[in-house]
Structure 1
Amino acid sequence: MKVRYTPAAGAELAAILDYIDERSPSGARNVKRRLQDIVAILAAHPYVGRLTKRPGIRRAVATPYPYLILYQVMGDSIVIHGFRHTARRPSED
C-alpha cells in the first residue's frame, strides 16, 4: 500500500521531532525510526490499528514511545492524519 501524509500530519511530525531534537538528537533519531517502522507495518497490515470514535480513523501506538499514529485506509493507500502524544488530549479518539 502507498502511504500519504496530510499536511497537518507532516507538520505535527516535524514539530515532534524538532522538539525532541532540541533536547536529544539521538532521541529524535530513535523516535523517527520507530515511527517510520510503525508506518511500514501499517502499509503491510493496514487494519492492525484500532478503530477510533471517528469514522474510518484508526490508531496505532508507537511503543515504546508515547505516540499515536492516526490514519485511514483509503483504497490502496494509507493516509496518515496525525501524530499525537498519548499524554495530550487522552480522551480524544
Structure 2
Amino acid sequence: MRIRWEEDAIIDLVALRAYIAKDNPAAALSLAERITAKAELLADQPLLGEPGRIHNTRELVVTNTPYTLIYHAAAETISILRVLHQARRWPTGQTL
C-alpha cells in the first residue's frame, strides 16, 4: 500500500518539529523521523491502529511520544490525516 500525507498532517508535523526545534533541534528531527517511520509501518499493516473516534478513521499511537497518527485505510492508499498531540482537544463530529 502507498502512504499519502494529507495537507493537515504535513502542517501538524512541520509545526511540532518547529516548536521542539526552538529548544532542541536534534530532538525535533528524531521525533519527526519516529513519527514518519511509524506511519510507514502502515503500508504493510494498515489495520495496525485502533478504530478512530471519528467515523472511517483509525488511530495509531506513536510509541513513547505524546503523538497519535489519525489515518484512513483504503484499498490501495493509507491517508495520514493528522498528527495530534494527545493532550490537545480532539476534533469532534464527522471531520478532522
Q: Could you tell me the TM-score, scaled by structure 2's length?
A: 0.88
Structure 2 unaligned runs (5+)?
A: none
4+ residue segments displaced more than 6 Å? none
- How far apart are the structure 2 equivalents of 1:91 and 1:8? 13
- How far apart are the structure 1 equivalents of 2:72 and 2:56? 6
Alignment of structure 1 residues 25-40 onto 2, 5 Å: 25-40=25-40
**Percent of residue pairs bearing the same amino acid type:** 28
Q: Give the secondary structure class of the aligned counterpart of 1:75.
A: coil
Aligned residue identity for 2:74:
M
Matched residue pairs, number? Answer: 93
String of CA shifts for 1:60-92, please: whole Å, max 9, x gaps.
011111100000001210000001111111696
Aligned residue identity for 1:65:
T
Alignment of structure 1 residues 37-76 onto 2, 5 Å: 37-76=37-76
Call closer, same or farther: CA 1:73–1:14 in 2, change over 3 Å: same
Structure with the larger helix share: 1
Verify the 8 A CA contact 2:46 2:78 in the aligned structure 1: yes
